[in-house]
Amino acid sequence: MKGLCILGATGSIGVSTLDVAARHPHLYKIVALTANSNIDALFEQCLAHHPQYAVVVNEEKSKEFQQKVSNSVVADIKVLTGSKALEEVATLPEVDSVMAAIVGAAGLLPSLAAAKAGKTVLLANKEALVMSGDIFMDAVATAGAHLLPIDSEHNAIFQCMPADYKTGTDGKQVRRILLTASGGPFREMPIEQMADVTPEQAVAHPNWDMGKKISVDSATMMNKGLEMIEACLLFKLLPEQIQVVIHPQSVIHSMVDYVDGTVLAQMGNPDMRIPIAHAMAWPERFDSGAKPLNIFDVRRMDFEEPNLERFPCLRLAYQAISIGGTMPAVLNAANEIAVEAFLDRQIKFTDIPVIIERCMDTIVRAAADTLAVILEHDQHARVVAKQIIAEINS
């Protein structure tokens, strides 16, 4: 029986992970659940799954949560608070696998701590890898940890790799990756209308049920840009070996093109429980609860190249990985601030790539050889992005 820690339990990935784990209670025990501030959802999860530990990062909310737990049937759960507690539960001896599902830069340190502790890291937090790059992959290799991708695209690629493949190593005779993207809700919207896009429109993804930040990233295709950078690291490929393909049906989740001309594709319904179950059961398989794919319902599959005028964020991601060093961390930080400002109605949808590009032009690249340097550039980019937003609104 494996001990499971879920970082970001109340988000969509965390909820799906608990759903899969509940289908296999003889295989998984929930050791720790964490949340930032959604204590009502976390409390319900504690009642249902009775973890040993619960972490609430927000200090005020943690006090309130502790009170709820103390007066309940799960009073024996140990409640921890603060961001350092995330690292504590991710490295507990009784934890075998860590679902790293905290969105954004906040997930970096606990995910890295899990890797350094030699855990099986189920990585749903692409930003952690984008920011830390080789530092994260080196930690995995040094500790002998297993790094299994949860993003549907990276999990699809992993499934199409040779049977003995380990992330961070060369894929045998792999020529390129075809990284699929739905194109989001604005794939066919006239470009001149995109400045008027509302947050409600941006988070209404046509195929996937995701959190607000990731949904906006999908609408700008920054999500695909971050996934491209992540794929370079996970599968030890150059940016030019990764081709983004818009596939609006979201049935093929990605493809691997081998040197002999063979192209292997992983297919399935757009349900995150499929990649989650694959990683949790790896190297075996078990039921995910997802509906089986009916190919006759699909009927057709379309593919097209992304328009970089429509999706400049994708161009900026390729530019960031080409510059290298701390530039991917700058890209990610500027994007997080810009998306937050858009969701708060401070800027237009089309301002998001403008803010990111101005940050990248302003901040000088440094070698990403220490975590301190990466975190410094992350914070610098956030300050610069906020200054640019203030200028836009002045």
End-to-end CA, the chain? 57
Of 153, 123, 315, nearest to 250 by C-alpha is 153
d(CA 203, CA 216) in angstroms, rounded, equals 6
Amino acid at 51: P
| 204 has a pLDDT exceeding 90 | no
The pLDDT of residue 177 is: 97
User: What is the pLDDT confidence band of residue 226, given thresholds at 50, 70 and 90?
Assistant: very high
In a 3-state reduction of DSSP, which class is residue 44? helix
Query: Are 179 and 257 a contacting pair, CB within 8 Å?
Result: no
Of 180, 147, 138, nearest to 165 by C-alpha is 147
The model's pLDDT over 70-97, given as tens digits with 9 standing for 90+, comes to: 999 999 999 999 999 999 999 999 999 9
- Distance set, CA 51 to CA 19, 63, 69, 73, 96 (Å): 15, 18, 12, 12, 14
Token output for 374: 């990466």
The model's pLDDT over 8-38, given as tens digits with 9 standing for 90+, comes to: 999 999 999 999 999 999 999 999 999 999 9
> Burial level of 373, CB count in 10 A (0-12/13-18/19+)?
middle
Query: Are 353 and 263 a contacting pair, CB within 8 Å?
Result: no
What residue has token string 């708060």? 344
Categorise residue 142: left if φ over 0, alpha if ψ from -120 to 50, beta otherwise. Answer: alpha
d(CA 222, CA 180) in angstroms, rounded, equals 13
| 207 has a pLDDT exceeding 70 | no
Q: What is the rounded average pLDDT of the residues 317-331?
A: 96
> Burial level of 358, CB count in 10 A (0-12/13-18/19+)?
middle
The pLDDT of residue 126 is: 86
d(CA 378, CA 231) in angstroms, rounded, equals 21
Query: Are 6 and 14 a contacting pair, CB within 8 Å?
Result: yes
Query: Are 235 and 174 a contacting pair, CB within 8 Å?
Result: yes
| 383 has a pLDDT exceeding 70 | yes
Of 58, 7, 59, 11, nearest to 34 by C-alpha is 7
Q: How does the average pLDDT of the chain come out, rounded?
A: 94
User: What is the pLDDT confidence band of residue 184, given thresholds at 50, 70 and 90?
Assistant: confident
| 210 has a pLDDT exceeding 80 | no
The model's pLDDT over 261-301, given as tens digits with 9 standing for 90+, comes to: 999 999 999 999 999 999 999 999 999 999 999 999 999 99
The pLDDT of residue 127 is: 86
Token output for 13: 């990935």
| 387 has a pLDDT exceeding 90 | yes
User: What is the pLDDT confidence band of residue 153, given thresholds at 50, 70 and 90?
Assistant: very high
CATH class of 2-149: alpha beta
Q: What is the rounded average pLDDT of the residues 339-365?
A: 96
| 208 has a pLDDT exceeding 80 | no
Query: Are 284 and 275 a contacting pair, CB within 8 Å?
Result: no
User: What is the pLDDT confidence band of residue 206, given thresholds at 50, 70 and 90?
Assistant: low
| 154 has a pLDDT exceeding 70 | yes
| 209 has a pLDDT exceeding 80 | no
Q: Count CA within 13 A, CB hemisphere, residue 368.
A: 25
User: What are the φ/ψ torsions at residue 304 (nearest 5 degrees)?
Assistant: -155, 160
The pLDDT of residue 172 is: 83
d(CA 131, CA 289) in angstroms, rounded, equals 33
Q: What percent of the chain has pLDDT over 70?
A: 98
Q: What is the rounded average pLDDT of the residues 212-216?
A: 89
The model's pLDDT over 88-145, given as tens digits with 9 standing for 90+, comes to: 999 999 999 999 999 888 899 999 999 999 999 999 988 889 999 999 999 999 999 9
Q: What is the rounded average pLDDT of the residues 355-376?
A: 96
CB neighbours of 31 closer than 8 A, spacing ≥ 6? 3, 4, 5, 51, 52, 53, 89, 92, 94, 95
CB neighbours of 333 closer than 8 A, spacing ≥ 6? 105, 359, 377, 378, 379, 381, 382, 385
Q: What percent of the chain has pLDDT over 90?
A: 90
C-alpha angle 325-217-337 in degrees, rounded to nearest 5? 65
